[in-house]
Chains A and B, each alone.
Chain A
Amino acid sequence: MNPFAKLAGMVTKPKPPVGTTPADVIHRENKWRLLRYRPAAGSAGPRFETPVLLVPSLINRHYVMDLLPGKSMAEDLVKAGHDVYCLDWGTPGDEDRHLTFDDVCDRYLGRAIRKVAKLSPRGKTHVLGYCLGGTMSTIHAAVHQEHIASLLVLAAPVSFEGEVGLLETWTRMPSFNVGDIVEAFGNVPWQLMQSAFTMLRPTLALSKAVHVVDKAVKDDPINANKWEEFSEGFRALETWGNDNVSFPGACYVRYIEELYRKDSLMKGTFTLSGKAARLEKITVPTMCIVFEHDNIVPWQNAAVLVDQIGSTDKELLKLPGGHVGAVVSRGAQKALWPRMSAFWAKRDADVKVRVTAEHGHANGHANGHTNGAAVAAEPASAPAMPPPPRAKKAKKSPTRSGGR
């Protein structure tokens, strides 16, 4: 096909179908909703005992984890047999300028975790936090981990010192007064944050345009659908990247002042609803995934988590790629998502319970986990989706309201 026709097609095509995996809303509070993805039609329903809760960043739409049909993390996890839930933070209203970090990270996130955990026979849920969602999940786990079966964080900053990125430099400027922004706007406008992200690499938009032209020029004679696939993925990612939400004002002030400026999470001085959030209190199995070329969250600032937590079952995985691409790309679908699924499958039940079931005694401490921190490289070949430990009857979705 003519490259010009390809490019023109990109502009004229309708918006790609983002976030379309069928889901039910099982809880609503203020602007946020808790979604439960439905099992694939004809499937026997979730095969694993412990559900998975996806916690996206507060400033981005949740559908980054459910980007396109056939290219959706949520859809793939559901297909792999997980009972998948997602926290959709929604769009804050003007009144949410008063929403504090404690409200979001303790009350809202806590409620989501408890709601999901109560629907599980184990009374616990795996938690996956991405970016700021990962930071909040970590802070929450440092205070309340009773309903958390395991913690998996993707590109989540916990340290804001050391390897300093541009965002850290800007927020630490004495002339940058967070209070002034919140006083003027209430919630921090997404346009302001979007501009800041653009300024991280001002040439990125141009570079992306050239990359698109390059893809259009180079025909792939073997795979005729390659352009269509690329084009749809690119447009979906751009749709998501330009669909941001504002940051609740009071929450933003604490986030910047305490975490970015004082680095209080690492120093052990951060509190959540008055309770000390100390990373060493996290003892649940933890997997920390960082990306080598992440210019939003330098990998060192995220990887440091495994050194700080008290878990003996912890794993650090450093992968090539950037902050978003490495999480939602075709490569992620082949390598990262199955790896996450395998992590949860291995920790589907409490160790003692599993040992009892497998060996008929409950006093063993042996487990099949990777004990101790280990830096793993990207696997050469994608691990296969793990086999289900047991077949469970399809659960009827306890919905309060209909689909999305």
Chain B
Amino acid sequence: MIWDTWKKGFDAWENATAKYTEHWMKSPLVLGPTGALLGGAMKAKAAYDKAASQWVGSLGMATKRDQERALHTLNQLESRLLDLEERLVDATTSHKKD
């Protein structure tokens, strides 16, 4: 009984609080500074990564970005080969039908 009463009170509080926070989460007063802060942090991280990458690159080693690009190219090559395989199978099938 006590629990049920408390639960009803909690649900009412939770609903009201959720509506209140949603209102603020849409407010430009909150979103503007939050977005700027997030953007600033991202720019700082990107700048740090770039500096670290340049240093690694200056030692003549492949940077993380270089490795990512190489791996991505390999994945793309795999996909292109699979495309080709599909087209060959289709062409062979239609040739047999003819």
The interface of chain A, by Cβ under 8 A from chain B, is 29-30, 93-99, 103, 107-108, 111, 114, 166, 169-170, 173-177, 180-181, 183-186, 199-204, 206-207, 210, 214, 217
CB-CB contacts of B48-75 with A at 8 A, as 1s and 0s?
0100000000000000100111111001
Per DSSP, chain A at the interface is helix
Also in contact, A183 and B46, with CB within 8 A (given A114-B86, A177-B39, A199-B25): yes
The interface of chain B, by Cβ under 8 A from chain A, is 3, 7, 10-11, 14, 17-18, 21-22, 25-26, 31-32, 34-36, 38-39, 41-43, 45-46, 49, 64, 67-72, 75-76, 78-79, 82-83, 86
Task: Report the number of A-B residue pairs with Cβ-Cβ less than 8 Å.
Answer: 100
User: A184, B79: Cβ atoms under 8 Å?
Assistant: no
Q: Chain B contacts of A30 at CB under 8 A?
A: 75, 78-79
Q: Chain B contacts of A96 at CB under 8 A?
A: 72, 75
| CB of B37 to closest CB in A, whole Å | 9
Also in contact, A180 and B10, with CB within 8 A (given A94-B64, A94-B68): no
User: A203, B21: Cβ atoms under 8 Å?
Assistant: yes
A184 to B17, CA, bound (A): 34
Instruction: List 15 interface pairs A-B (beta carbons < 8 Å), by A numbering.
Output: A93-B71, A95-B71, A96-B72, A97-B72, A98-B68, A103-B76, A107-B79, A166-B26, A169-B26, A176-B35, A180-B38, A184-B43, A185-B42, A206-B14, A210-B14
User: B42, A184: Cβ atoms under 8 Å?
Assistant: yes
Which of chain A's residues has its CB closest to B27's CB? A169
User: A169, B7: Cβ atoms under 8 Å?
Assistant: no
| CB of B15 to closest CB in A, whole Å | 9
Q: Chain A contacts of B17 at CB under 8 A?
A: 203
Q: Chain A contacts of B64 at CB under 8 A?
A: 94
